[in-house]
A and B are shown apart, each in its own frame.
Chain A
């Protein structure tokens, strides 16, 4: 299947072919790799490429095409998208805009809620402060707009991915 891999801003045409179970041929631009693959533990890969053995930690948040890949202390952020989908996405506007569903980046406790429904906020303004493991973490608005709903409650714990609040951009025109 044809994919586009994006790494450090560079797009690489990518093809993956399952030669036989647990054996893949991966083409990255001009480079071709034959990969003996095993997933002995979930999201922890054992890859043998040209006789070299690698242990690779692949982190894949649900619903995201961006992977965090870890190899021997090094970390790589890699996006892999189907070629068709990538072309489609390119046609749509890029950048942070539109309705922002603010979700909790981690499990924690809502320590301070600084906005309420109807508040106008500017990009970078702190919406609330989460506390986890004795550290305070500010959650900021990515856009100028209005807070249209607030799900977070002060003093109430949240899990990673829980909705916190919604910021909507001002209507145009």
Chain B
């Protein structure tokens, strides 16, 4: 096992990795930018070194600095977290060359899976399903009709040089193929100066479901079931859960085996995630991409399986075989993660850096706070707005939602705005409660339902505002009267002393 691990990251994920190391009795080295001197990961690590100015391009992304600190501090491994250098094959190779273990998969796996085209070609050879479609452009109406038969309906006619929804036509049946071909072609020519079009299957009610995989350096690969990540705001995951309501045992096994096959194409030897797009209507699943890192939402899997993925990742990097066999992996209950961002959900989700003046963290049974913040921390403007992740376990989905709501009601962050109120509203939304959503749900349906929601505590809000105004005016008046009042004020100590006498 390693003696000392450098964590090449910041915020909550750096704290997560440090916690795992401490439990494994490995010494930890934090690195930080000039803006992060006060960050939590710096305070909880055994050693800490500044690696440059605030912009990540001059600090957390500078390989030379990080390698230099690793050598100076005598670290024998580097945990990259997520983002920054986590999926950079050059960095993984560089570590190898310097004799430092990169806690992650082999560089070849990072390189192949990091590219959409190479990853799709690789996994398709192993029989992993891709969204059915063409790798060439259409040449004629007849050509379109032949391909439409192969792809199936509904399908999407797309401009090869398109984007932003232009030059796209949904086609629901054979009778519309020819006319869609002609109009998409002319629209594409008009919009992009190129009339090349192609077709692929349109995935109805698309849901994002991903499979956690874990492989070791001895050729063992297992799947650790799925996570449902369809609750997204502008294509960013905001709430994740495990298991997914649309996945049953048979589908879970088929998705799991497909994910293991995908991982096998690159001899995957760490924790990783295979992302699928799933049709909410037909429940067909298609490979999207593979993430070759510890995922932000890994805790929901840990909660339902009872295993520590971050520690397992470190053990594997040290050359140890998997601690689990496939048949050991069993789901128990349900888990939900809410990502708490420094964004104001009541003001267009604008970022809100600043000082955390008050913090009350939720507690109680089965509640886990994955955090990078503390009371008094100045949240810097330079990085991702993620502050913490609230992870909650429950015996089933319904209980888990109720418990998440309970935990959110305890969570107080003052000084800056956070997305906590947004999560409360999602937990109360009837479509979310029913599990009836796809990746467009938050941006399209939820915003309207949220606008129209009942607000039961209006009068309490008005009362609070009135009292606030009254107290503010009174304090102002007292400040103006100033000295005279102060001279008359009697210390409570003095007062009690007099009474006793």
Q: Do A and B bind each other?
A: yes
> Which residues of A line the B interface, CB within 8 A?
1, 3, 5, 7, 12, 14, 16, 18, 24, 26, 28, 31, 33, 35, 37, 41-45, 47, 49, 54-58, 60, 65, 67-76, 78, 80, 82, 105-109, 131-135, 137, 157, 160
A41:B457 contact, CB within 8 angstroms: no
A108 surroundings in chain B (CB, below 8 A): 351, 353, 381
| Residue B350 at the chain A interface, CB threshold 8 Å | yes
B457:A132 contact, CB within 8 angstroms: no
B342, B412, B460 pick with most chain A CB within 10 angstroms: B460
B350:A5 contact, CB within 8 angstroms: no
Seed contacts A73-B423, A78-B465; 15 additional CB < 8 Å A-B pairs? A16-B470, A18-B474, A28-B463, A47-B460, A57-B414, A58-B468, A65-B469, A72-B457, A74-B461, A75-B421, A106-B350, A107-B381, A133-B342, A133-B343, A134-B383
Q: Select one of A1, A58, A160 contacting B465, CB under 8 A.
A: A58
A56:B464 contact, CB within 8 angstroms: yes
Residue of B nearest to A137 (CB): B350
| Residue B425 at the chain A interface, CB threshold 8 Å | yes
* The 7 A-B residue pairs with the shortest CB-CB distance in the complex, in nearest-first order: A73-B424, A76-B461, A133-B351, A16-B470, A78-B465, A69-B461, A80-B469
B466:A47 contact, CB within 8 angstroms: no
Q: How far is the CA of A60 from the CA of B409 in the complex (A)?
A: 21
A58:B469 contact, CB within 8 angstroms: no
A42:B357 contact, CB within 8 angstroms: yes
Residue of B nearest to A158 (CB): B381
Q: How far is the CA of A169 from the CA of B298 in the complex (A)?
A: 54
B369-404 contacts to A (CB < 8 Å)? 381-385
Q: Given A44-B414, A73-B428, do A7 and B468 touch, yes or no (CB 8 Å)?
A: no
A65 surroundings in chain B (CB, below 8 A): 469
Closest Cβ of chain B to A124, distance in Å, is 16
Closest Cβ of chain A to B382, distance in Å, is 8
Q: How far is the CA of A111 from the CA of B384 in the complex (A)?
A: 17
| Residue B346 at the chain A interface, CB threshold 8 Å | yes
Q: Given A16-B469, A75-B421, do A54 and B384 touch, yes or no (CB 8 Å)?
A: no
B351 surroundings in chain A (CB, below 8 A): 106, 108, 132-133, 135, 137
B468:A133 contact, CB within 8 angstroms: no
B460:A133 contact, CB within 8 angstroms: no
Closest Cβ of chain A to B432, distance in Å, is 13
Contact with A along B329-369 (1 / 0, CB 8 A): 00000000000001101100011111001100000000000
Contact with A along B451-472 (1 / 0, CB 8 A): 0010111111111111111101
Closest Cβ of chain B to A46, distance in Å, is 10
Closest Cβ of chain A to B250, distance in Å, is 37
A107:B468 contact, CB within 8 angstroms: no
B353 surroundings in chain A (CB, below 8 A): 106-108, 132-133
Residue of B nearest to A43 (CB): B414
Interface residues on B, range: 35 or more
| Residue B184 at the chain A interface, CB threshold 8 Å | no
| Residue B408 at the chain A interface, CB threshold 8 Å | yes
B468:A80 contact, CB within 8 angstroms: yes
A41 surroundings in chain B (CB, below 8 A): 358, 412, 414
B421:A35 contact, CB within 8 angstroms: no
Q: Select one of B345, B385, B424, B466 contacting A16, CB under 8 A.
A: B466
B463:A47 contact, CB within 8 angstroms: yes
Residue of B nearest to A31 (CB): B459
Contact with A along B410-435 (1 / 0, CB 8 A): 00101000001111110010000000
A1 surroundings in chain B (CB, below 8 A): 470, 473
Residue of B nearest to A157 (CB): B381
A134:B384 contact, CB within 8 angstroms: yes
B459:A28 contact, CB within 8 angstroms: yes
Q: Given A1-B473, A133-B342, A134-B383, do A71 and B461 touch, yes or no (CB 8 Å)?
A: yes
Q: How far is the CA of A57 from the CA of B420 in the complex (A)?
A: 12
Q: How far is the CA of A107 from the CA of B381 in the complex (A)?
A: 7
B424 surroundings in chain A (CB, below 8 A): 72-73
B382 surroundings in chain A (CB, below 8 A): 133
A5 surroundings in chain B (CB, below 8 A): 462, 465-466
B462:A56 contact, CB within 8 angstroms: no
B422 surroundings in chain A (CB, below 8 A): 73
A78:B461 contact, CB within 8 angstroms: yes
A7 surroundings in chain B (CB, below 8 A): 458, 461-462
B425:A133 contact, CB within 8 angstroms: no
Q: Select one of A43, A58, A74 contacting B421, CB under 8 A.
A: A74
